[in-house]
Amino acid sequence: MNFDLDACVIHESASVREALKKVDENHHGFVFSRNKNNEITGLATDGDIRRGLIDGITLNDTIESCINPNFVWASVDSPREQLIKQLDSHIKFIPVLDNARRLKYIVSNKFLPLSDEQDVYIRSRAPVRMSFGGGGSDLTHYFKAESGAVINAAISIYSHGVMRVRSDSKIIIHTLDLGATLAADNLAEALSQKGPFGLIQSILHVVQPTFGFELSLNSDFPVGSGLGGSATLSAVILGCFNKVRKDTWNQYELAEIAFQAERLHLGIAGGWQDQYASVFGGFNFIEFHADENIVNPIRVHPDIVLELEESLVLCDTGIDHHSGNIHEDQKETMSSAAVKELVKANVKLTYTIRNHLLRGNLEKFGECLDAGWQLKRNFSAMISNDHIDSIYNGALENGALGGKLLGAGGGGYFIFYVRPFEKYRLLDYLKSKSLSVQPFCFEPNGLKTWSSREYVK
């Protein structure tokens, strides 16, 4: 039951007779008094008036003579929880006043309006991946003829996004990674602008948002890291748009849209595993076939996960790489029967890596990393060079059992597997070469998207 406020308020100079008429008309058994500034000054119930009449006031006296100035009231900022508790404590009604003590509404156990819907912003976060084996077999031109398989895991290095939907068609995108801002009055203008926004514009082209928005992006890793960062950034952007949709895309659809934007629309050559790894998270054994790709989550025992975290060293070579160029070159070399056999051997090795990982045979896992690297470095002349080989061989001489460059190769990050009591020696070696080591943990979750209320002062 909503209250008619005019029927519940009377001027404090009005007579008791007039107040009783108000009480009779509103059927609530009370009336509030107000002054000339419309400030609520007190409450008079029918009981208060009756007691006043018994004590000697007359119907012609002002209602001010029997009001209660110390009545229970709440401010417009009072928490709903507090109101509910007061109503549950046998208080029948509570006037809600603004900062000027003007009556806004009255709540009761029959009427307690919900809070107005607040503006929200959307946050999104997705992890990069650490690939262990099968690289090269996730390229469409390979698995169209031969089935491919990779094994990878998401790690605690992320891309982040925050988006606010606007009431107009303007689009504003800030990217800390590129140190640039895109500002446009509408989607068409955003798509036509020149600048370093190619991947973002490709996603906008595919998604075709029908609303304006502000989007801020940043990542925990540098461009060209070999960690699948472009796919991770794509997942973050798509996650923000997905939160706005009623019919949300599932994990496979998100990965496919990310692939479409980067590989087909933007035209950057590369495989499929990065998109799946960022969206799904965790440890995954991913199989690639001409008709469909299947992501098989791997349930690795928590103790094995912890031991693997301590046994792997993630090392930045400090060399930027351009995976698209390497994949283009690899596409050419893949026509060679010899290279196809190397990729096929790498796929077979991936099944072995999976089994060692599940059974906790981590030394065998480390040896397989080395075997996989020896295969992969021969896929293309652009994957390794004398400097990279020098780093790798030095790591083996200083305690590493095996390792590999992440991503397409040519630079970015190395991972090395090292035995427990050899780790200090490997870390000393990498430090002596001025190579930075990146701490990480395995991330069981993939793309995460959520919304929060805008802060209102």
* Residues involved in catalysis: 274
φ, ψ of residue 178 to 5 degrees: the values are -95, -10
Q: Which residues pair with 95 in a beta bridge?
A: 106
DSSP string, 280-349: H-SEEEEEE-SS-EEEEE----HHHHHHHHHHEEEEE-S----HHHHHHHHHHHTTSHHHHHHHHHHHHH
Tokens 């107005």 correspond to 116
The answer to whether 1 and 107 are in contact (CB under 8 A) is no
Burial class of residue 335 in the structure, from the number of CB atoms within 10 Å of its CB (0-12 exposed, 13-18 middle, 19+ buried): exposed
Phi-psi region of 45 (alpha: psi -120 to 50; beta: other; left: phi over 0): beta
Q: How far is CA 142 from CA 73, 134, 352, in A?
A: 73, 12, 20
Collapsing DSSP to helix, strand or coil, 204 comes out as: helix
Q: Cα(86)–Cα(93) distance, rounded to whole angstroms?
A: 9
Q: Cα(356)–Cα(352) distance, rounded to whole angstroms?
A: 6
Give the largest Cα separation in the chain, rounded.
112
Collapsing DSSP to helix, strand or coil, 192 comes out as: helix
The answer to whether 16 and 44 are in contact (CB under 8 A) is no
The answer to whether 195 and 175 are in contact (CB under 8 A) is no
Give the type of residue at 286: I
Q: Which helix (H) or strand (E) holds 43?
A: strand 40-45
Closest CA to 163 of 127, 191, 189, 200: 200
